[in-house]
């Protein structure tokens, strides 16, 4: 009976005629069947009837609406619908990915320190000076600012994808104000409420302690004070990530402030409170560089704090992430990551980049223009998928416009072959269908260690064949499960007292009825 329903649920899943059939499916190997990582998840899903799937999905939606009350109260719409099938990463896959992310963060830290200091990498002829000086986010205002513990990348979001062979590759680095970690925590919370049974069958590593790591990193960054005062600086409630700003401030137990709450006097930053002024030591800011200090940047910005940059220069306050980090996540500079890694660490990349053409090199420029209809062209700066042109999907008119833009500003563009992002089963209608995903792991640097949150934001493209995972393109998200090593004592999700069953019953067949009841009861609490 379960065979019949399985055929329904996964019916035609690996259809060879599906778009991008060459993509790596994370659940199914075309020859060997279900991959080890997904074995238990598959065994749990397989017996479900399509109607069960719908019931589960509705339970998930209710849980989201439940939390959505919080969201709408704070003026936030939830941009990513959460899919009910989690994305699973094995302990060994994660360990490789984690090492690669740590290596990258370390190299980029050294790079930023050098670029805003002596620029030795340029003096040694490893990188052209023009590569740096032409970068839109190379902020000369930050030259000579040396953070007390040397950290500039307190939080990094390194976007990775899995190629046709299943190997992780870095698509882009985000070193300014990477957002999305609140979805990682909220997705997990929701999934744990709706699918406690699934967590009982897996050793999923916890993501709920992110704020502990962030706070530790921010406190470690403080300029020589024993009990530093940390604040989160937000542009305000109308910012699309305000929910995340307030969540992080709440979880860290620190003040959430706006620019007008802060004041610079004699290069010291103070927080205005009802009990008078409080000195501020570390500002975790979620405001772009350009709006941070009207003395140094956009003069009519009211979001920031006048005098903040020189307070940081004087060593009296730490801005996290540091000003000018955008020079490290410029997509042209990204193409030089192998050189940067070799220069500062003497290492080769543990995580390869996606092959990239540099439009500013004449030879590659010509090739990009020749093959515009098969390449993906991206602006070197900016995020959120803005300005990206998928050659194969573009009309001749769009390609012509893109050709003009690239010719006018070759430094502003890079091109990549279409990467067939890996697929994970995703609920589409009443069936599970392969849909393309990416992953943003979050790394936190406290100056001693780079901690990578075991999980990350998995974004999924919902339309069939779509490789664009941005929320504006109808993207959703998945809970990302990093499995604990078999013999480890790592805290797994829902292992604590009072949360689910601590015992693992690996070979047990999932029972549907009672679990659904459990889920529904939780909804009513």
Partner 1 sequence: MNWRLRVVHTTGYRYATAVTQSYNEARLTPRHDDRQNLMVARLETIPPARAYKYTDYWGTEVNSFDLHSPHTELKVIAASVVETSDQPPPSAEVTWVQLKSADVLDTYAEYLEWTTYVPKHRELSAVARSLRRGRSPQETVLAVSKWVHDTLKYQRGTTGVHSSAVDAWQAGEGVCQDYAHLTLAMLRAVGVPSRYVSGYLHTKPDAAVGETVVGESHAWVEAWTGEWWGFDPTNDISIGHRHVWVATGRDYADVSPLKGIYSGEAATAIEVTVDMTRLA
Q: Which residues bind partner 1 (CB under 8 A)?
A: 128-130, 133-134, 140-141, 143-144, 264-267, 294-295, 299, 306-307, 310, 313-314
Query: Minimum distance between the CB of residue 122 and partner 1, rounded to whole angstroms?
Result: 9
Structural contact between residues 285 and 258, judged by C-beta atoms closer than 8 angstroms:
no
Residue 476 and residue 496: Cα distance in Å, rounded?
29
**Distance between CA atoms of 192 and 350, rounded to whole angstroms?**
33
Q: Which is nearer to partner 1, 316 or 426 (CB)?
A: 316
Neighbours of 302 (CB within 10 A): 12
Nearer to partner 1, 130 or 250 (CB): 130
| Smallest gap from residue 134 Cβ to partner 1 (A) | 7
Q: Evaluate whether 477 touches 191 at the Cβ level (below 8 Å).
A: no
| CB closer to partner 1, 128 vs 392 | 128
Count the Cβ atoms, other than its own, within 10 Å of residue 76.
20
Minimum CB separation from partner 1 for residue 397, in Å?
Answer: 28
Nearest to 23 by CA among 294, 425, 332: 425
**CB of 478 vs partner 1, minimal distance in Å:** 44
Supply the minimum distance, in Å, between the C-beta of residue 452 and partner 1: 33
Q: Cβ of residue 174: shortest distance to partner 1, in angstroms?
A: 25
Pick 300 or 507: Cβ nearer partner 1: 300
Least separation in angstroms between CB 111 and partner 1? 17
Q: DSSP letter string over 240-294? A: TTHHHHHHHHHHHT-EEE-GGGEEEETTEEEEEETTEEEE--EEEE-S-GGGT-T
Q: Which is nearer to partner 1, 116 or 413 (CB)?
A: 116
Tokens for 241, please give them: 């990530």
Pairing between β-strand 282-285 and β-strand 318-320 as defined by DSSP bridges: parallel
Q: For partner 1, which is the closer residue by CB, 65 or 143?
A: 143
Handedness of CA 416, 422, 426, 432 (dihedral sign): positive
Q: Report how far residue 396's alpha carbon sits from residue 376's, in angstroms, rounded to the nearest whole number.
A: 14
Residue 299 or 513 with smaller CB distance to partner 1:
299
Across the strands, what pairs with 25? 423
């Amino acid at each position: 009976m379960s065979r019949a329903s399985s055929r329904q649920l996964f019916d035609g899943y690996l259809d060879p005629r599906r778009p991008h059939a060459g993509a790596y499916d994370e659940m199914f190997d075309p020859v060997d069947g279900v991959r080890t990582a997904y074995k238990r998840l598959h065994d749990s899903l397989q017996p479900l009837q399509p109607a069960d799937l719908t019931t589960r999905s509705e339970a998930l939606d209710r849980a989201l609406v439940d939390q959505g009350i919080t969201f709408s109260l704070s003026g936030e719409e939830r941009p990513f619908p959460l899919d009910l099938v989690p994305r699973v990463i094995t302990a060994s896959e994660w360990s490789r990915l984690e090492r690669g992310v740590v290596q990258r963060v370390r190299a980029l830290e050294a790079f930023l320190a050098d670029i805003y200091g002596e620029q030795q990498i340029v003096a040694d002829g490893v990188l052209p000076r023009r590569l740096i000086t032409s970068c839109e986010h190379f902020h000369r205002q930050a030259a000579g600012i040396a953070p007390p513990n040397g950290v500039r990348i307190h939080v990094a979001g390194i976007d990775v994808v899995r190629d046709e062979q299943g190997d992780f590759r870095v698509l882009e680095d985000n070193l300014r104000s990477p957002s999305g970690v609140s979805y990682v925590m909220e997705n997990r919370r929701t999934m744990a409420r709706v699918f406690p049974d699934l967590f009982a069958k897996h050793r999923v590593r916890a993501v709920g302690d992110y704020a502990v790591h962030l706070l530790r990193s921010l406190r470690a960054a403080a300029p020589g004070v024993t009990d530093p005062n940390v604040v989160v600086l937000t542009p305000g409630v109308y910012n699309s990530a305000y929910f995340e700003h307030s969540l992080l401030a709440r979880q860290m137990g620190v003040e959430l402030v706006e620019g007008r709450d802060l004041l610079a006097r004699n290069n010291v930053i103070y927080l205005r409170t009802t009990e008078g002024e409080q000195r501020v030591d570390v500002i975790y800011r979620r405001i772009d560089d350009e709006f941070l200090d009207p003395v140094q940047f956009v003069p009519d910005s009211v979001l920031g704090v006048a005098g903040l940059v020189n307070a940081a220069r004087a060593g009296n306050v730490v801005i996290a992430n540091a000003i000018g980090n955008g020079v490290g996540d410029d997509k042209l500079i990204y193409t030089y990551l192998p050189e940067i890694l070799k220069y500062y660490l003497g290492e080769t990349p543990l995580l390869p980049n996606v092959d990239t053409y540099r439009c500013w090199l004449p030879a590659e420029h010509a090739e990009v223009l020749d093959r515009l209809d098969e390449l993906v062209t991206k602006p070197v700066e900016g995020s959120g998928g803005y300005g990206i042109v998928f050659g194969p999907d573009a009309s001749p008119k769009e390609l012509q416009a893109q050709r003009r833009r690239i010719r006018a500003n070759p430094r502003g563009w890079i091109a990549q072959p279409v990467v067939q992002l890996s697929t994970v089963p995703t609920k589409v209608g009443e069936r599970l269908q392969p849909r393309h995903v990416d992953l943003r792991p979050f790394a936190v640097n406290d100056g001693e260690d780079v901690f990578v949150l075991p999980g990350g934001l998995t974004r999924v493209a919902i339309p069939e064949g779509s490789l664009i995972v941005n929320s504006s393109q109808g993207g959703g998200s998945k809970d990302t499960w990093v499995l604990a090593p078999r013999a480890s004592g790592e805290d797994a999700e829902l292992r604590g007292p009072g949360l689910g069953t601590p015992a693992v019953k690996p070979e047990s067949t999932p029972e549907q009825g009672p679990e659904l009841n459990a889920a529904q009861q939780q909804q009513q609490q």
